[in-house]
Amino acid sequence: MKGERGMENFELYNPVKIIFGPGEVARTGEEAAKLGKKAMVVSYREHDFFSDLLKSIESMLTSAGLGVVPFYEVTANPLMSQVDAAVSQCKAEGVDMVIAVGGGSAMDVAKITAAGVEYQGDLWNMIVNRHDQEVAAPPEKALPLLMVPTLPATSSEMNCGAVVTNERIMEKSYVFAECLYPKVSIVDPSLTCSLPPYQTACGAADTISHAMETYLNGVDDTPLQDRFLEGVITTIMENVGWALEDPNNVKVRAHLQWASAVAWNGWLQAGSGGWAPMHQLGHVLSARHNVTHGASLAIVMVAWMKHLYEHRLERYVQFADRILAMEVDGKESDAVAQAAIDQFDSFLKDIGVPTRLSDVQIREDDIDAMVDDVVRISFGTDGKLNSRPPIDREQVKKIYNLAL
């Protein structure tokens, strides 16, 4: 058998109904009417670039006979205080379903809010914020969820996960629970045409990171999963430039939207391992320094690859060959791997995302506190981060230093 660790046993479950294609947002009202009678619509505090969309969705819901409770208070890197406020409003107004309109942040708040209405106790208790002991009590029930994603990035429209920052203790972590699967997601790529270029680029980096987590840290001998992962990464890399050049090209936007939906919905991780160690380092950048999620992952990915490539040289040569279309035959593996990392770094810079901590005003004297956070939140009982290979405190610090 090729490699060290073969394909793992797995269970795969994904009940999300996807309605995909330009113009499908028009079905929001009819689909929502199947799920409830009074909907909270969750979106951003700053939503000028799709305020008309929100008005249109409110009108569709009203025409379908639903009551509408707007909650337009979400920020990038959403906060527990926003969830608390949304849950209180849901309870006060008798909301029986939750709709998200936006990217991952809006969908995260919508999911945790839908669970929070049914949850007993402190809502932070549902969040997996330690990995060396069982501290979280995941939610078991949630109000029905409908997603209208406007940013290809997180797969939130097709998975049961959400991330949030507790601003009181500056910790960002996640919850995965079956009740958080949306009932319906209306994935209309035309809605993404109004995205600012930086958000388009950060969304692309975010999608790539989801595939890279499994590609770099998963088990060996998963040839079909490798091809799935490579397909997602190459689709994003081939199309994001076109989207930046011609923002209104709906065909290109559709490629980005579908790739992002499947990158972290369970299909690609089946049998390969679904842990996301690079995200653990990225979350700290968002919690402490409010770095955009996709940007934080771009920064971590490059440094991660530089530090750990020697442990999986064959994988990095495969990355160079299949994804970057580099000439690898007859060349020394170490040189190929380093050249591939440099080329990937250049790609991220070219689309306009930061790849260094200094790009987002994080300095060397910030690193020790960030390492402390990773160790406290994300290390397991063995005193290491679950990755391929597992890494300790000093290696986390080296990765952050490589990212400077």
Nearest CA among 144, 77, 137, 155 for reference residue 113 = 144
Which pLDDT score, from 0 to 100, does residue 198 have? 96
Task: Report CA 161 to chain centroid distance, whole Å.
Answer: 9
CB atoms near residue 358 (< 10 Å): 13
| Strand order across the 97-102 sheet | 17-20, 184-187, 145-149, 97-102, 38-44, 67-74
Q: What is the pTM of this model?
A: 0.95
| Cα gap 350→339, rounded to integer Å | 16
* Phi (first) and psi of residue 52, to 5 degrees: -65, -35
pLDDT of residue 182: 98
**What's at 50, amino acid-wise?**
F
The answer to whether 385 and 391 are in contact (CB under 8 A) is: yes
pLDDT attached to residue 3? 46
Please report the pLDDT score of residue 48 as a whole number.
78
Residues of the chain short of pLDDT 50, as ranges, are: 1-3
Dump strand ranges (E) for 232-361. none
In total, the chain counts a number of residues equal to 404
- pLDDT value at residue 273: 82
The predicted pLDDT at position 5 comes to 67
Q: How much is the CA Rg of the chain, to the nearest whole Å?
A: 21
Q: What is the pLDDT of residues 12-24, one digit of tens each?
A: 999 999 999 999 9
pLDDT of residue 1: 36
- CA gap 351, 367 in Å, rounded: 26
Residue with tokens 């107004």, as numbered in its chain:
93
Cβ atoms 80, 139 nearer than 8 A: no
Q: Tens digits of per-residue pLDDT, 8-60?
A: 999 999 999 999 999 999 999 999 999 999 999 999 998 777 889 999 999 99
294: amino acid identity, one letter: G
